[in-house]
A = this chain, B = another copy of it.
């Protein structure tokens, strides 16, 4: 499928809106993904109002694409709608626990990838925002998510201003294991990362950051232990508050 192999994250967008019929088709594509027991335990909040996008912007560290892209989609695990239905039918739901956060997150993410690929088929560009889980507590307030709903990921979407090169990936063999997991020798680790470590982009990053290797850019600049621990606590607290951690 050509669309899959042409995917790149787009960070600069034209101001053009996405036509409603195309947006509808993208959202319909999202709903065709598999979901746990066909329970559809997710919701998609589609924000196009500049005021809402502006409010969301700090949650995504003020990356300009959040306000520049015409559409911001927040994909959430959602047991709330299913619970309401159960209660209305005199059935006692038992989904306010961790398993159903994971199930809802699975549903939300398969739906998001369908939406992304359908969008790209129509010439749109997208970017996933990993910041969603860092600031999910604030997103809950801005999007007025009730108990039983928690953000998992965000996708910005719109017409790209340019076409950046494909992102490098580790060789396919790095992520694939046949039959059972094969652990990595030190030589394998060197070999799998060699191309990325020797790229011009990496050389530029090392000079810019004054660090001796790419791994330390990840651990000391991009994703630092103290931030990871803090964001983990915040998200776990939010899971409790939103009703996904009853034992």
| A interface residues, Cβ below 8 angstroms from B | 1, 3-5, 7, 9, 24, 27-34, 36-40, 42-49, 52, 78, 81-82, 84-86, 88-95, 97-100, 102-103, 105-106, 109-114, 116-118, 121, 127-128, 130, 133-134, 142-146, 149, 152-153, 167-170, 172, 174-181, 183-184, 186, 189-190, 193, 213-216, 218-220, 222-226, 228-229, 231-233, 235-236, 246-247
Q: Which 4 A-B pairs have the closest CB atoms?
A: A94-B225, A89-B215, A91-B215, A113-B113
Contact A176 B215 (CB under 8 A): no
B114 touching A222, Cβ below 8 Å = no
Taking CB as reference atom, which chain B residue is nearest A234? B99
Give 29 A-B contacts (CB < 8 Å), ordered by A residue: A1-B3, A1-B29, A4-B29, A4-B32, A4-B114, A5-B28, A31-B169, A34-B116, A34-B127, A34-B128, A36-B130, A40-B169, A45-B177, A45-B178, A45-B180, A81-B175, A81-B189, A82-B218, A86-B215, A88-B186, A88-B215, A89-B213, A89-B215, A94-B225, A94-B226, A94-B229, A103-B130, A110-B113, A111-B175
Count of identical protomers in the assembly: 2
Whole-angstrom distance between the alpha carbons of A110 and B127 in the complex? 13
Q: Assess the B223–A37 pair: CB atoms within 8 A.
A: yes
Quick one: which of B45, B100, B172, B216 contacts A228, CB cutoff 8 A? B100
Q: In the complex, what residue of chain B is closest to A239 when comparing beta carbons?
A: B98
Which of the residues B38, B81, B92, B176 comes within 8 Å of A225, measured between beta carbons?
Answer: B92
- Is the pair A28, B81 in contact by a Cβ cutoff of 8 Å? no
From the candidates B44, B102, B142, B175, name the one contacting A40 in the complex (CB within 8 A): B175
In the bound assembly, the distance between CA atoms of A78 and B177 in angstroms comes to 12
Which of chain B's residues have a CB closer than 8 A to the CB of A184? Answer: 81, 84
- Contact residue among B40, B94, B228 (Cβ-Cβ distance under 8 Å from A97): B228
- CB-CB under 8 A from A180, the residues of chain B are 45, 47, 52, 142-144
Inter-chain contacts of A214 with B (CB < 8 A):
89
Residues of B within 8 Å of A167, CB to CB, are 38
